[in-house]
Amino acid sequence: MQSLIYAGIAQLKKVEIFKTPAFIANMQDNPIYAVLVFLAGAYFFKIWLEDARAGKTGSRALPGASFAGFGASALAVAGALAVLAAETFLEGRLGFREDQSSVKFWAVFVWIGAAVTEEIIFRGYIVITKKGRGVLWASAFFASALFAILHPFLWDFSASGGFSFNFTSAAAFSTAFIFLNSMWLYFARFNPLNKSASLLPCFLAHFAYNVGVFAVKAHQGFAVWSF
């Protein structure tokens, strides 16, 4: 972790830090960003865990702060890995494999942290839970669309080129699977096996999916192991 921080500082020195667009565009490639996202995820998981252990509910606790049984968690993880397996298979069949981007090895720390923070925000807060099942799933659908669009496949931002759109088949394919996985994560929270609507199965499923994505990229040669 310390070596990541030192490398991040070295990267920051290469950027004109006070030019905000340049700084934002370089965040994804900076180990400091990876460490901060990972630590944020660890912090929010600690708060969530404390709320769950204390049995807090309502506005006094983070959403979904309760524990779930093995069955609900196992189903959530199995479904997320099934989505990843289908995505990987179809990616190869449709010829999109070479269109994917390479990632630095520290990206896995970003994705682990995101497995907590994104679940608390989207599956926790951005859903309507007290207006019936129809409204719940309608809100999950629109939140999943937002979740998918926020992932930078259909768009890009760089210090040199600014903001741009990327309406390609490969980008649409990746966005569609982000949407599908998001819907599955909502199901992981609100299916009958998860009687308390705990976020724990969502955390585990999102973690499994993100680590699985990195493992697939590493296996296919799209992970960069140097600073």
- Residue-level pLDDT at 156: 83
- Residue-level pLDDT at 26: 53
Is residue 91 a contact partner of residue 173, using CB atoms and an 8 Å limit?
yes
Rounded Cα distance, 119 and 206, in Å:
8
- Residue-level pLDDT at 60: 86
H or E segment to which residue 13 belongs: helix 2-13
- The tokens for 181 are 């996985």
Read off the pLDDT of residues 132-156 as tens digits, 9 standing for 90 and up: 999 999 999 999 999 999 999 999 8
pTM of the model: 0.87
H or E segment to which residue 158 belongs: strand 155-158
Amino acid letter, residue 145: A
Torsion of CA 216, 220, 179, 73, to 10 degrees: -10
**Structural domain boundaries of the chain?**
2-224
DSSP 3-state of 155: strand
Q: Find the distance separating the first CA and the last CA of the chain, reported in whole Å.
A: 13
- Residue-level pLDDT at 122: 98
Q: Which residue has the tokens 């090895």?
A: 105
Helices (H), 94-222: 107-118, 133-150, 169-190, 200-220
DSSP 3-state of 118: helix
User: Of 210, 203, 214, whose CA–CA distance to 65 is shortest?
Assistant: 203
Read off the pLDDT of residues 175-226 as tens digits, 9 standing for 90 and up: 999 999 999 999 999 999 999 999 999 999 999 999 999 999 999 999 998 8
Read off the pLDDT of residues 40-67 as tens digits, 9 standing for 90 and up: 999 999 999 999 999 988 888 999 999 9
Q: What percent of the chain has pLDDT over 90?
A: 73
Rounded Cα distance, 41 and 47, in Å:
10
